[in-house]
Amino acid sequence: MFALIGHPLGHSMSPFIHKKLFEISGRQEAYELCEIKPEELKSRLPEVIQTYDGLNVTIPHKMQVIDFLDKLDISAAKYNSVNCIAKENGKIVGYNTDCIGFLRSVPEKALGGKFLLAGCGGVGRMMALEAADHGGDITIAIRESDSDMAKGLAGEINEKFFDVHVKIVLLSEITGNYDLLVNSTPVGMYPNIDACPVSEEVISRCENIFDAIYNPNETVLIKTAKKLNKNATGGMRMLVLQAVAAHEIWYGAKFDEEQTDKIISEVSAEVEKNF
């Protein structure tokens, strides 16, 4: 039995995705939503960990659960963030499969090239650090109100990766050509589906585009990129592939590309149906 913990969980796609993955693996497993308020975490989490064979973790608990674990995998230690918990040889181990899903969703060569990140909070920090780890030349594009956060991220990158160049610009003042544009902002997400974080002119100067948003399946950013014949990928791939990574961790599951692509299509159709 497995579950997602977080608060609030609302209309999560996790049960749909994980049940599909269990079906492909030929396993009869339950996957539940387990809502835990922040003030309840200390009293409830130890019992929840014992109750389930494995857990996924979402906001606001990704950092707070660390205190309840025996060990962090390098994927979680790297970001001080856990979104997957597994039981291994009597130990409770935390992983970060968000980064695995992201790395499997974007071209590796582009990640190490000229990298443009829209936004810098939450998942954007992970994306920027992965680009830095691949030797990317990083530009962080932000709203003026996010200046301090962006400077903090740039400082963290420079501290960890001495040879990586980081530049901060406003979203309205992006210049130059890029190998990869990644959107980590909520701009374009349901219900504000007519918005786009950058102009069409900026998109035209980017070879590959990745949007972390998965609802809608195709944001204005992705639609515009495809219109311009760019290699464009929406956030549904990352969402499914981070779940795939959890199954690999929990019980050594194996999935081929055809199977994961089928689930991505099915989840996309489910999102279209429900929103």
As annotated, the active-site residues are 62
Contacts of 215-221 with CB under 8 Å at 24 or more apart are: 215/189, 215/190, 215/271, 215/275, 216/190, 216/271, 216/272, 216/275, 217/268, 217/271, 217/272, 219/183, 219/188, 219/189, 219/193, 220/188, 220/193, 220/194, 220/195, 220/196, 221/183, 221/188, 221/196, 221/197
Closest CA to 92 of 126, 47, 27, 40: 47
Burial (Cβ within 10 Å: 0-12, 13-18, ≥19) of residue 257: exposed
Strand partners, 118: 141, 183
99 in Cβ contact with 126 (< 8 Å): yes
Name every residue whose Cβ is closer than 8 Å to that of residue 2 and which is 6 or more positions away in sequence. Answer: 18, 29, 30, 31, 32, 52, 53, 54, 55, 56, 250
Name every residue whose Cβ is closer than 8 Å to that of residue 223 and which is 6 or more positions away in sequence. Answer: none
Q: Which two tokens stand for residue 217?
A: 């399946």
Burial (Cβ within 10 Å: 0-12, 13-18, ≥19) of residue 270: middle
